[in-house]
Structure 1
Protein backbone atom coordinates (compact mmCIF):
# COMPACT_ATOMS: atom_id res chain seq x y z
CA UNK A 1 0.00 0.00 0.00
CA UNK A 2 1.37 3.46 -0.82
CA UNK A 3 2.29 5.79 1.98
CA UNK A 4 -0.75 7.53 3.40
CA UNK A 5 1.22 10.42 4.85
CA UNK A 6 0.68 13.69 3.01
CA UNK A 7 3.67 15.14 1.18
CA UNK A 8 4.05 18.36 -0.78
CA UNK A 9 0.57 19.54 -1.82
CA UNK A 10 -0.98 16.14 -1.32
CA UNK A 11 -4.10 15.92 0.81
CA UNK A 12 -5.50 12.82 2.46
CA UNK A 13 -9.26 12.37 2.79
CA UNK A 14 -10.78 9.66 4.97
CA UNK A 15 -14.48 9.08 4.35
CA UNK A 16 -16.02 6.98 7.13
CA UNK A 17 -19.51 5.63 7.59
CA UNK A 18 -20.51 5.71 11.26
CA UNK A 19 -20.22 2.51 13.29
CA UNK A 20 -23.16 0.21 14.09
CA UNK A 21 -25.88 2.01 16.04
CA UNK A 22 -28.77 0.87 18.17
CA UNK A 23 -31.88 0.26 16.09
CA UNK A 24 -33.98 2.58 18.22
CA UNK A 25 -33.79 6.04 19.75
CA UNK A 26 -36.08 8.93 20.57
CA UNK A 27 -35.32 10.14 17.04
CA UNK A 28 -33.07 8.78 14.33
CA UNK A 29 -30.67 11.67 14.99
CA UNK A 30 -30.38 10.62 18.65
CA UNK A 31 -29.53 6.93 18.13
CA UNK A 32 -26.48 5.80 20.13
CA UNK A 33 -23.80 3.37 19.04
CA UNK A 34 -24.24 -0.25 19.98
CA UNK A 35 -21.42 -1.76 22.08
CA UNK A 36 -20.27 -3.58 18.93
CA UNK A 37 -20.16 -0.23 17.11
CA UNK A 38 -17.92 1.33 19.76
CA UNK A 39 -15.53 -1.61 19.50
CA UNK A 40 -15.54 -1.47 15.69
CA UNK A 41 -14.83 2.29 15.69
CA UNK A 42 -11.92 1.64 18.05
CA UNK A 43 -10.59 -1.02 15.66
CA UNK A 44 -10.85 1.46 12.77
CA UNK A 45 -8.98 4.08 14.81
CA UNK A 46 -6.18 1.64 15.58
CA UNK A 47 -5.94 0.71 11.90
CA UNK A 48 -5.72 4.37 10.86
CA UNK A 49 -3.01 4.98 13.47
CA UNK A 50 -1.08 1.96 12.15
CA UNK A 51 -1.19 3.58 8.70
CA UNK A 52 0.39 6.72 10.16
CA UNK A 53 -2.69 8.84 9.60
CA UNK A 54 -3.14 11.82 11.91
CA UNK A 55 -5.90 14.21 10.86
CA UNK A 56 -5.59 17.92 11.36
CA UNK A 57 -9.27 18.50 10.65
CA UNK A 58 -12.44 16.45 11.06
CA UNK A 59 -15.99 17.02 9.85
CA UNK A 60 -18.53 14.97 11.78
CA UNK A 61 -22.29 14.81 11.43
CA UNK A 62 -24.09 16.16 14.48
CA UNK A 63 -25.98 12.86 14.92
CA UNK A 64 -25.25 11.07 18.18
CA UNK A 65 -23.93 7.91 16.47
CA UNK A 66 -21.42 9.82 14.34
CA UNK A 67 -20.15 11.82 17.32
CA UNK A 68 -19.74 8.59 19.30
CA UNK A 69 -17.98 7.00 16.32
CA UNK A 70 -15.51 9.90 16.31
CA UNK A 71 -14.96 9.60 20.07
CA UNK A 72 -14.13 5.87 19.90
CA UNK A 73 -12.08 6.28 16.71
CA UNK A 74 -10.03 9.20 18.02
CA UNK A 75 -9.46 7.63 21.44
CA UNK A 76 -8.18 4.38 19.92
CA UNK A 77 -5.98 6.25 17.43
CA UNK A 78 -4.57 8.57 20.10
CA UNK A 79 -5.88 11.75 18.46
CA UNK A 80 -6.81 14.78 20.56
CA UNK A 81 -8.36 16.81 17.72
CA UNK A 82 -11.79 18.35 18.33
CA UNK A 83 -14.05 17.72 15.34
CA UNK A 84 -16.19 20.28 13.58
CA UNK A 85 -19.78 19.10 14.06
CA UNK A 86 -22.09 19.83 11.17
CA UNK A 87 -25.89 19.52 11.23
CA UNK A 88 -25.93 19.44 7.43
CA UNK A 89 -23.90 16.22 7.26
CA UNK A 90 -26.80 14.35 8.83
CA UNK A 91 -29.04 14.57 5.77
CA UNK A 92 -26.55 15.71 3.14
CA UNK A 93 -26.21 14.16 -0.27
CA UNK A 94 -22.81 13.58 -1.90
CA UNK A 95 -22.71 17.00 -3.60
CA UNK A 96 -23.33 18.80 -0.31
CA UNK A 97 -20.63 16.80 1.49
CA UNK A 98 -18.24 17.55 -1.37
CA UNK A 99 -19.01 21.25 -0.94
CA UNK A 100 -18.27 20.98 2.80
CA UNK A 101 -14.95 19.27 2.06
CA UNK A 102 -14.11 21.98 -0.50
CA UNK A 103 -14.64 24.56 2.24
CA UNK A 104 -11.91 23.02 4.42
CA UNK A 105 -8.97 25.28 5.17
CA UNK A 106 -6.04 24.81 2.80
CA UNK A 107 -3.84 24.43 5.89
CA UNK A 108 -5.48 21.06 6.62
CA UNK A 109 -3.51 18.19 5.08
CA UNK A 110 -5.50 15.22 6.39
CA UNK A 111 -9.27 15.39 6.75
CA UNK A 112 -11.60 12.81 8.30
CA UNK A 113 -15.30 13.00 7.41
CA UNK A 114 -17.77 10.87 9.37
CA UNK A 115 -21.25 10.67 7.94
CA UNK A 116 -24.05 8.41 6.84
CA UNK A 117 -24.85 6.04 4.03
CA UNK A 118 -25.59 5.97 1.19
CA UNK A 119 -23.92 9.40 0.97
CA UNK A 120 -20.45 8.35 2.18
CA UNK A 121 -20.27 5.38 -0.20
CA UNK A 122 -21.53 7.42 -3.15
CA UNK A 123 -19.06 10.22 -2.52
CA UNK A 124 -16.11 7.83 -2.21
CA UNK A 125 -17.06 6.24 -5.53
CA UNK A 126 -17.66 9.60 -7.21
CA UNK A 127 -14.23 10.93 -6.16
CA UNK A 128 -12.34 7.80 -7.31
CA UNK A 129 -10.15 8.61 -10.32
CA UNK A 130 -9.60 4.92 -11.12
CA UNK A 131 -5.82 5.16 -10.71
CA UNK A 132 -5.57 3.80 -7.16
CA UNK A 133 -5.56 0.40 -5.52
CA UNK A 134 -7.86 -1.73 -7.70
CA UNK A 135 -8.66 -4.17 -4.89
CA UNK A 136 -9.62 -1.35 -2.51
CA UNK A 137 -11.78 0.30 -5.17
CA UNK A 138 -13.52 -2.99 -5.98
CA UNK A 139 -14.13 -3.77 -2.30
CA UNK A 140 -15.57 -0.30 -1.78
CA UNK A 141 -18.04 -0.78 -4.63
CA UNK A 142 -19.10 -4.24 -3.39
CA UNK A 143 -20.49 -2.86 -0.13
CA UNK A 144 -20.05 -0.11 2.41
CA UNK A 145 -21.06 -1.56 5.79
CA UNK A 146 -21.04 0.31 9.08
CA UNK A 147 -17.58 1.51 10.07
CA UNK A 148 -16.28 1.20 6.51
CA UNK A 149 -13.76 3.80 5.43
CA UNK A 150 -12.05 4.85 2.25
CA UNK A 151 -8.71 6.63 2.21
CA UNK A 152 -8.17 8.87 -0.80
CA UNK A 153 -5.29 11.12 -1.78
CA UNK A 154 -5.61 14.31 -3.76
CA UNK A 155 -2.94 16.68 -5.05
CA UNK A 156 -4.15 20.25 -4.67
CA UNK A 157 -6.22 22.51 -2.47
CA UNK A 158 -9.46 21.20 -1.01
CA UNK A 159 -11.34 23.86 -2.95
CA UNK A 160 -10.32 22.15 -6.22
CA UNK A 161 -11.48 18.65 -5.25
CA UNK A 162 -13.85 17.39 -7.92
CA UNK A 163 -15.45 14.21 -9.20
CA UNK A 164 -12.93 11.57 -10.32
CA UNK A 165 -10.02 13.64 -8.96
CA UNK A 166 -8.84 11.59 -5.95
CA UNK A 167 -6.99 8.30 -5.76
CA UNK A 168 -8.26 5.44 -3.59
CA UNK A 169 -5.31 4.17 -1.57
CA UNK A 170 -7.18 1.98 0.92
CA UNK A 171 -10.58 0.62 1.88
CA UNK A 172 -11.03 -0.86 5.34
CA UNK A 173 -13.92 -2.02 7.51
CA UNK A 174 -13.33 -1.57 11.22
CA UNK A 175 -14.22 -4.75 13.07
CA UNK A 176 -13.29 -5.65 16.64
Structure 2
Protein backbone atom coordinates (compact mmCIF):
# COMPACT_ATOMS: atom_id res chain seq x y z
CA UNK A 1 0.00 0.00 0.00
CA UNK A 2 1.16 3.50 -0.71
CA UNK A 3 1.85 5.87 2.17
CA UNK A 4 -0.14 8.45 0.16
CA UNK A 5 -3.38 6.52 0.73
CA UNK A 6 -5.36 7.50 3.84
CA UNK A 7 -4.99 5.21 6.84
CA UNK A 8 -7.66 4.68 9.46
CA UNK A 9 -7.12 4.35 13.19
CA UNK A 10 -10.00 3.42 15.46
CA UNK A 11 -9.50 4.12 19.15
CA UNK A 12 -11.85 1.82 21.06
CA UNK A 13 -12.25 2.00 24.83
CA UNK A 14 -13.07 -1.25 26.62
CA UNK A 15 -16.68 -1.81 27.67
CA UNK A 16 -18.05 -1.41 31.22
CA UNK A 17 -16.10 -3.52 33.72
CA UNK A 18 -17.19 -5.10 36.96
CA UNK A 19 -15.46 -4.46 40.31
CA UNK A 20 -14.87 -7.89 41.88
CA UNK A 21 -12.06 -8.49 44.35
CA UNK A 22 -9.32 -8.86 41.74
CA UNK A 23 -6.47 -6.64 40.56
CA UNK A 24 -7.38 -3.84 38.17
CA UNK A 25 -5.70 -5.68 35.28
CA UNK A 26 -7.91 -8.74 35.87
CA UNK A 27 -11.29 -6.97 36.11
CA UNK A 28 -13.88 -8.68 33.86
CA UNK A 29 -16.74 -7.06 31.97
CA UNK A 30 -20.01 -6.36 33.71
CA UNK A 31 -23.28 -7.55 32.14
CA UNK A 32 -23.82 -4.10 30.60
CA UNK A 33 -20.26 -4.22 29.25
CA UNK A 34 -20.94 -7.49 27.41
CA UNK A 35 -24.02 -5.95 25.77
CA UNK A 36 -22.23 -2.70 24.87
CA UNK A 37 -19.16 -4.52 23.47
CA UNK A 38 -21.33 -6.49 21.03
CA UNK A 39 -23.21 -3.33 20.02
CA UNK A 40 -19.92 -1.47 19.48
CA UNK A 41 -18.75 -4.37 17.32
CA UNK A 42 -21.87 -4.05 15.16
CA UNK A 43 -21.32 -0.28 14.85
CA UNK A 44 -17.65 -0.80 13.94
CA UNK A 45 -18.65 -3.38 11.31
CA UNK A 46 -21.16 -0.85 9.93
CA UNK A 47 -18.32 1.63 9.26
CA UNK A 48 -17.20 -0.65 6.43
CA UNK A 49 -13.57 -0.33 7.49
CA UNK A 50 -11.60 -3.49 6.81
CA UNK A 51 -9.10 -3.72 9.65
CA UNK A 52 -5.69 -5.23 8.99
CA UNK A 53 -4.55 -5.16 12.61
CA UNK A 54 -6.03 -4.93 16.09
CA UNK A 55 -3.76 -3.89 18.97
CA UNK A 56 -5.37 -4.83 22.27
CA UNK A 57 -4.37 -4.25 25.87
CA UNK A 58 -3.69 -7.42 27.84
CA UNK A 59 -6.20 -6.46 30.57
CA UNK A 60 -9.09 -8.89 30.97
CA UNK A 61 -11.78 -6.28 30.22
CA UNK A 62 -10.14 -5.22 26.94
CA UNK A 63 -9.63 -8.80 25.79
CA UNK A 64 -13.28 -9.61 26.61
CA UNK A 65 -14.46 -6.44 24.84
CA UNK A 66 -12.48 -7.35 21.74
CA UNK A 67 -13.70 -10.96 21.73
CA UNK A 68 -17.34 -9.82 21.78
CA UNK A 69 -16.87 -6.96 19.30
CA UNK A 70 -14.84 -8.85 16.69
CA UNK A 71 -17.52 -11.55 16.59
CA UNK A 72 -19.65 -8.96 14.74
CA UNK A 73 -17.01 -8.31 12.03
CA UNK A 74 -17.23 -9.92 8.58
CA UNK A 75 -13.50 -10.75 8.83
CA UNK A 76 -11.25 -11.00 11.88
CA UNK A 77 -8.08 -8.90 11.65
CA UNK A 78 -4.73 -10.07 12.95
CA UNK A 79 -4.75 -9.36 16.69
CA UNK A 80 -1.74 -8.49 18.83
CA UNK A 81 -2.13 -8.32 22.62
CA UNK A 82 0.20 -5.56 23.75
CA UNK A 83 1.10 -5.03 27.43
CA UNK A 84 2.23 -1.45 26.79
CA UNK A 85 -1.35 -0.34 26.05
CA UNK A 86 -2.48 -0.96 29.63
CA UNK A 87 -2.31 2.35 31.58
CA UNK A 88 -0.52 4.01 28.65
CA UNK A 89 -0.38 7.75 28.12
CA UNK A 90 -1.25 9.22 24.71
CA UNK A 91 2.47 9.57 23.96
CA UNK A 92 3.11 5.93 24.81
CA UNK A 93 0.18 4.91 22.59
CA UNK A 94 1.59 6.95 19.69
CA UNK A 95 4.92 5.14 20.18
CA UNK A 96 3.11 1.76 19.90
CA UNK A 97 1.27 2.91 16.75
CA UNK A 98 4.54 4.24 15.25
CA UNK A 99 5.79 0.63 15.21
CA UNK A 100 2.93 -0.50 12.96
CA UNK A 101 4.20 -1.88 9.63
CA UNK A 102 3.35 0.31 6.64
CA UNK A 103 1.62 -2.66 4.99
CA UNK A 104 -1.19 -2.07 7.53
CA UNK A 105 -3.76 0.38 6.18
CA UNK A 106 -6.36 0.26 8.96
CA UNK A 107 -5.66 -0.41 12.63
CA UNK A 108 -7.84 -0.72 15.71
CA UNK A 109 -6.47 0.09 19.18
CA UNK A 110 -8.45 -1.34 22.12
CA UNK A 111 -7.47 0.30 25.38
CA UNK A 112 -8.31 2.39 28.41
CA UNK A 113 -9.05 5.92 29.52
CA UNK A 114 -7.67 8.46 29.98
CA UNK A 115 -5.34 7.30 27.17
CA UNK A 116 -8.01 6.71 24.51
CA UNK A 117 -9.69 10.09 24.90
CA UNK A 118 -6.38 11.89 25.26
CA UNK A 119 -5.03 10.23 22.13
CA UNK A 120 -8.15 11.09 20.11
CA UNK A 121 -7.92 14.72 21.23
CA UNK A 122 -4.19 14.94 20.52
CA UNK A 123 -4.21 13.27 17.09
CA UNK A 124 -7.26 15.11 15.71
CA UNK A 125 -5.98 18.31 14.14
CA UNK A 126 -9.33 18.59 12.36
CA UNK A 127 -12.74 16.95 12.42
CA UNK A 128 -15.59 16.23 10.04
CA UNK A 129 -19.13 17.49 10.70
CA UNK A 130 -20.06 17.31 14.38
CA UNK A 131 -17.73 14.47 15.43
CA UNK A 132 -15.58 16.66 17.70
CA UNK A 133 -18.57 18.27 19.43
CA UNK A 134 -20.21 14.86 19.97
CA UNK A 135 -17.00 13.51 21.48
CA UNK A 136 -16.53 16.61 23.63
CA UNK A 137 -20.13 16.39 24.84
CA UNK A 138 -19.98 12.72 25.79
CA UNK A 139 -16.35 12.34 26.76
CA UNK A 140 -15.06 8.85 26.08
CA UNK A 141 -17.32 6.50 28.07
CA UNK A 142 -16.84 2.75 28.11
CA UNK A 143 -17.31 1.05 24.71
CA UNK A 144 -16.92 4.38 22.85
CA UNK A 145 -14.80 4.61 19.74
CA UNK A 146 -13.32 7.35 17.57
CA UNK A 147 -12.44 6.90 13.89
CA UNK A 148 -9.48 8.94 12.67
CA UNK A 149 -7.73 9.20 9.32
CA UNK A 150 -4.25 10.35 8.37
CA UNK A 151 -1.95 10.14 5.37
CA UNK A 152 1.64 8.99 5.61
CA UNK A 153 3.72 6.29 7.22
CA UNK A 154 2.81 5.01 10.68
CA UNK A 155 6.20 6.34 11.76
CA UNK A 156 4.95 9.87 10.97
CA UNK A 157 1.86 9.62 13.20
CA UNK A 158 2.07 12.52 15.66
CA UNK A 159 -0.18 15.09 17.36
CA UNK A 160 -2.46 17.01 15.02
CA UNK A 161 -1.92 14.97 11.82
CA UNK A 162 -5.26 13.14 11.80
CA UNK A 163 -8.85 14.02 11.02
CA UNK A 164 -11.57 12.83 13.39
CA UNK A 165 -14.06 11.23 10.99
CA UNK A 166 -16.57 9.74 13.40
CA UNK A 167 -17.32 9.11 17.04
CA UNK A 168 -19.75 6.70 18.66
CA UNK A 169 -20.69 5.87 22.25
CA UNK A 170 -23.44 3.62 23.60
CA UNK A 171 -26.57 5.18 25.04
CA UNK A 172 -26.40 6.01 28.75
Provide the TM-score with structure 2 as the length reference. Answer: 0.93
Runs in 1 of length 4+ with deviation above 3 angstroms? none
Number of aligned residues: 170
Deviates more, 1:69-78 or 1:93-102: 69-78
Q: Hey, what does 1:56 align to over in structure 2?
A: 52
| 1:46 to 2:42 alignment | yes
Deviates more, 1:40-49 or 1:106-115: 40-49
- Listed one character per residue, the Cα deviations across residues 61-84 of structure 1 (whole Å, up to 9, x for unaligned) are 000000011101100223323411
RMSD: 1.8
- Answer whether contact 1:42 1:77 (CA < 8 A) is retained: no
Q: Hey, what does 2:128 align to over in structure 1?
A: 133
Q: Hey, what does 1:166 align to over in structure 2?
A: 162
Question: Is there any run of 5+ residues in structure 1 with no aligned partner, and where?
Answer: 1-6
| Structural mapping, 1:1-176, within 5 Å | 9-130=5-126, 132-142=127-137, 143-174=139-170
Deviation at 1:134, TM superposition (A): 4.1
- Answer whether contact 2:4 2:152 (CA < 8 A) is retained: no
Provide the TM-score with structure 1 as the length reference. Answer: 0.91
- Listed one character per residue, the Cα deviations across residues 46-101 of structure 1 (whole Å, up to 9, x for unaligned) are 11111101210011000000001110110022332341111111121110000101
Deviation at 1:24, TM superposition (A): 2.2
CA distance in 2, matches of 1:47, 1:159: 28
- Answer whether contact 2:52 2:78 (CA < 8 A) is retained: no
